Structure 1
């Protein structure tokens, strides 16, 4: 098969993706729009090559940190994806109501706060309650990329928010602690209450050992045992944090290894349909 930019390997997954399978976490960086550093191979056209390789058809585009709070690149990509695309934007708490409505009509279903590294975060922990109040009337969620320590420290605040939450990259639990970290219990309580979801993505962000990521597998299986109906999977293409790009087909196959075929299909099809309204 054709090589895909920012993805190792060329073979398809060992197990074919089911019809309607969704990649629920990817980024598009497009230098035609404000804020993006000069990049190559990270456009929607590049991602379409990965879709063909993986066999997924639905996609959730997460606004890249490089584009700041300007959703232009996201909206352009969503318009080209059509009904099989959904978006997660980045907006400040004081954004006009008309902007929220415009994004909702374009397929945006939530806002992301990537706060695990405050040095380059466009927003802050203090913005979470105000943004939750803005998105709740739209039926949107907040997608949170936090460290496990941040989750544990803010557990009380997160439990009181008026909107659903989606935790990025398996809640970034330290690999050596995994589900023994207090953040796992905090997230599990929200899952049990039907108020949160977790993305089974970024295995390479949750490992000390590398492929096939047995320490990340321990975390993923703990969430699968806790609430398989509240999980989605994402590739995290184009893996902007990684100098050595992972093989996305292998990342997709990990899901079946962790969950088994039946639960994997649920996580790829039914759960994202419920969360994003496909």
Structure 2
């Protein structure tokens, strides 16, 4: 099937630099996507955008180039609840990828079990109105209760100004909850201001809530160039991500967000994004947790359980 890209669509950057930062052994890119290819895995009729193709082979080549060991592939909204491209990538990964699917209430238990066997470990709820149609919260809660026995978690994507109205729903979910991109804070506001403070409060008071400290390219106002004597790109995002990494070191994840859907002003160099990491996780201990220990615990925990209790760490944090 032929698909025409959304006008003005920015394709992913095909020549990423070699990162200066050497990733620790076993590092996981915990947020990335595959798009199609559309002639093999058609884009959803209800999609809000049509992307360029971004195949599993291209994703795995980027993984190796940057120095990651594994990927967590998140279902893209352009595929809706048709998870075939995601599952295909997981099956081709040689156990080096896990997935986060999008499911609706019509999904059968057999379909959930098949996705679990392929490596899916979570489902994503999208609350960004320009990207996804509204789903009633009672339907989402029903889905959350169905996936909880599988040990899956819920990934939520929202924007900071919408957190007050979503707060009670997020904190009532019966699973581990992973927030995409720090809840998209407005980085022009203070890192200790009321908007971001509400997000920090939610994480502090609910030990099952995690955050991805990813996507500075989506959040930054200063952009990819070092400015005003700053030595690093996306410097205005650093205080927000650094605060979460240092406050909740056992509940943070990081990912490239390749192939960077719906960016409007520039397409980031994925090597440069990797070099952002030591600015937000400033010690080898914090880097090890962010890039290796935390994603391994959350996504490959079943292998730890199989290998013996000394390796098993429960993915869900205690609220005690």
TM-score, normalization by structure 2: 0.79
Distance in 1, matches of 2:145 and 2:256, equals 29
Match of 1:60 among 72, 75, 81: 72
1:203 to 2:203 alignment: no
Give the aligned partner of residue 258 of structure 1: 280
- For 1:217-236, what aligned pairs fall within 5 Å after superposition? 217-236=238-257
Gaps of 5+ in 2: 1-10, 225-232, 302-320
Match for residue 155 of structure 1? 167
Q: Which residue of 2 aligns with 1:166?
A: 178
Whether 1:33 aligns to 2:41 is yes
Shift of 1:68: 0.7
In proportion to residue count, which structure has more helix?
1
Distance 1:256 1:12 in 2: 15
For residues 196-231 of structure 1, the C-alpha deviation after alignment (integer angstroms, 9 at most, x for no partner) is 111111101112211212221111011112201110
After superposition, the Cα gap between the structure-2 partners of 1:146 and 1:246, relative to the gap in structure 1 and judged at 3 Å, is: same
Query: Aligned runs of 1:10-49 on 2, under 5 Å?
Result: 10-30=16-36, 31=38, 32-35=40-43, 40=52, 42-49=54-61
Higher deviation after alignment, 7-16 or 230-239: 7-16
**8 Å CA contact 1:200, 1:233 repeated in 2:** yes
Please give the alpha-carbon distance, in whole angstroms, between the structure 1 residues aligned to 2:198 and 2:131: 28
Q: Distance in 1 between matches of 2:242 and 2:90?
A: 32
Computing the radius of gyration over CA atoms, which structure comes out larger, 1 or 2? Answer: 2
**Residue equivalent to 1:274:** 297
Count matched residues: 273
Other structure's SS at 2:253 match: strand
Q: Deviations over 1:64-93 (max 9, x none)?
A: 111111011111000001211100000112
Counterpart residue number, 1:76 = 88
Task: Report whether the alignment pairs 1:96 with 2:104.
Answer: no
Give 1:214's aligned residue.
Answer: 235
1:107-152 per-position Cα deviation (integer Å, ceiling 9, x unaligned): 0000011221x24415525243222212211111110111112222
Relative to the length of structure 1, the TM-score reads 0.91
1:132 has 2:144 as partner: yes
Taking the aligned partners of 1:123 and 1:94, their CA distance within structure 2 comes to 16
Q: Does structure 2 conserve the Cα–Cα contact (< 8 Å) formed by 1:6 and 1:41? A: no
Aligned partner (choices 110, 114, 121) of residue 132 of structure 2: 121
